[in-house]
Amino acid sequence: MAKKAKTVYMCTECGGESAKWSGQCPFCGEWNTMTEMKAQDTDENDRRRRSAAAPGRHAKANKLMDIETGGEKHRISTGIGEFDRVLGGGIVRGSLTLISGEPGIGKSTIIMQAASNIAKKYGKVLYVSGEESEEQIKLRADRICPDMNENFYSLGETNLENIAAVTEEVKPVLLIIDSIQTMYTQEIDSAPGSVSQVRECGNEFMRLGKVKNIPIFIVAHVTKAGELAGPKTVEHLVDCVLNFVGERNQDLRILRSFKNRFGTTSEIGAFEMGEHGLSEIKDISKRFLEDMEDGAEGSMVTAVYEGTRPLLLEVQALSAPSGVGFARRTAIGFDARRLNMILAVLERQAGLSLAEQDVYVNVVGGFRPEGTSTDLAVALAIHSTFRGVSCRKDTLALGEIGLTGDLRRIQYAERIIKEAARMGFKRVILPRSQAKKLGDLKAAGAISGTESGVSLMGVRNINEAIEAYQK
């Protein structure tokens, strides 16, 4: 039954919809983000429901225990280990994945490399580009996947209905849409890239993928400031959201999963951009610590647990007397508010007078770790630069700092310590309760082998940690 089209307002930031216009989004509170759009005569829920059933029949519920999943057989390997891991073990059949990142970061490159591998192993792959001509695609493919086979199809098209028709004809095992901002459907008249087009196309691709059981990759451009917020409106309906980040003038690229219905989130994959496309970096910790100097001031190693593996990182700090006016605090790869908190803790609990010091903190390698396990390393690096104490390269500092200067346990310490041992670290400074537990495990033989060479230095608070790292 056709419904009357009506005007609604949608927030470009969070995708929230409201029948009334207001200057501030009633859902996320952002200002000036509500844009006018026409509601469709068939709403998206109707379509989604219908897609599950044959035309004319209503959907039927199944017993969960009778549903076959096929397990790992349902996964398609991209042929790129790091990519597969971020996806949770490969691409799930019928899934919809959004891969977002700034323009020029390498989204098309990684996806074409994966596409070429899949074409060789599984069958036809259809790469639809609304950004480049077929010649441009071929030129790039020749460079990054010279050994491609006849199963790699490309299509320069932006019309959704045409893409659906070609997909029907080609019957690919994987469909790639590069990018969602260039696609449009005839059903609505707003321009490609507008919030309503992006949302409608996202919906339609999802329907296509689910009905035909074809996994789909959708590329989406986002800017640092998140200006092109359109893709946000499809995040809720896709199965996986991957984000590709890096500095364009450096060659390191990190692929991170933000949402994954088929695996863990916060899983990361590391790549290097080279002349022949992206190559995997298998030992990312080694890469992050490569240029580290022993005995430097203001440099401390720490670790985070990302997805399913530990990652060792160097944190650097520099303090310098500030000129007139207020002291500057700059954090790269670390939360600025947490830096302020740590500075306050150092000031009050450890007696460092930092009020007239500019403080800079940098996580080496352009990586932005999540979580709070890096707190202690940041604090010790600041202490080291301020007091002029040199840091040992074989020491790792782990722990979250509380407002009283106490240290809190971190997750997955045991696995981090194993990784530290593998990397040749000798000492790990960590919260005492955790050190004790791990020490007991060690005594009981639960931790064995190489990691027994690491000495665990349990500390209760920031002052004990400051003493420990100077030993």
* Residue 246 contacts ligand TYD per CB under 6 A: no
Closest CB 143 distance from ligand TYD, rounded Å: 6
Q: Which of ligand TYD, Mg ion, none lies near 226, with the C-beta cut-off 5 to 8 A by kind?
A: none
Q: Which of Mg ion, ligand TYD, none lies near 109, with the C-beta cut-off 5 to 8 A by kind?
A: ligand TYD
* Residue 180 contacts ligand TYD per CB under 6 A: no
Closest CA to 383 of 432, 334, 425, 350: 350
Of the pair 101, 231, the CB lying nearest ligand TYD is at 101
* Residue 116 contacts Mg ion per CB under 5 A: no
Of the pair 101, 230, the CB lying nearest ligand TYD is at 101
Residues in the interface with Mg ion (CB under 5 A) total 1
Site string for ligand TYD, 71-100 (x = CB under 6 A): ------------------------------
Pairing status of strand 252-260 against strand 240-246 = antiparallel
- Contact yes or no for 269/86 (Cβ under 8 A): yes
Closest CA to 26 of 38, 17, 35: 17
Closest CA to 271 of 229, 242, 235: 242
* Residue 104 contacts ligand TYD per CB under 6 A: yes
Closest CB 79 distance from ligand TYD, rounded Å: 17
Of the pair 141, 354, the CB lying nearest ligand TYD is at 141
Of the pair 108, 196, the CB lying nearest Mg ion is at 108
What is the spatial distance between Cα 246 and Cα 76, in angstroms, rounded to a whole number? 26
Closest CB 179 distance from Mg ion, rounded Å: 7
Closest CB 131 distance from Mg ion, rounded Å: 5
Of the pair 253, 393, the CB lying nearest ligand TYD is at 253
Closest CB 111 distance from Mg ion, rounded Å: 8
Closest CB 42 distance from ligand TYD, rounded Å: 33
Cα angle 205, 211, 217; round to 5:
35
Of the pair 33, 108, the CB lying nearest ligand TYD is at 108
Q: Which of ligand TYD, Mg ion, none lies near 143, with the C-beta cut-off 5 to 8 A by kind?
A: ligand TYD
Pairing status of strand 455-459 against strand 329-332 = unpaired
Stretch that binds Mg ion, among 108-116, 165-173, 432-440, 454-462 (CB under 5 A): 108-116
Which pair of tokens denotes residue 414? 């045991």
* Residue 231 contacts ligand TYD per CB under 6 A: no
Pairing status of strand 407-408 against strand 400-401 = antiparallel
Of the pair 78, 316, the CB lying nearest ligand TYD is at 78
Residues 6+ away with beta carbon under 8 Å from 447: 414, 417, 418, 438, 441
Q: Which of residues 248-277 bind ligand TYD (CB under 6 A)?
A: 273, 275-277
Of the pair 107, 432, the CB lying nearest ligand TYD is at 107
Distance of CA 2 to the CA centre of its chain: 40
Closest CB 114 distance from ligand TYD, rounded Å: 12
What is the spatial distance between Cα 35 and Cα 193, in angstroms, rounded to a whole number? 13
* Residue 107 contacts ligand TYD per CB under 6 A: yes
Closest CB 426 distance from ligand TYD, rounded Å: 38
Q: Which of ligand TYD, Mg ion, none lies near 409, with the C-beta cut-off 5 to 8 A by kind?
A: none
Q: Which of residues 117-146 bind ligand TYD (CB under 6 A)?
A: 140, 143-144
* Residue 108 contacts Mg ion per CB under 5 A: yes
* Residue 158 contacts Mg ion per CB under 5 A: no
* Residue 105 contacts ligand TYD per CB under 6 A: yes
Contacts with Mg ion, residue ranges (CB under 5 A): 108
Contacts with ligand TYD, residue ranges (CB under 6 A): 101, 103-109, 140, 143-144, 273, 275-277
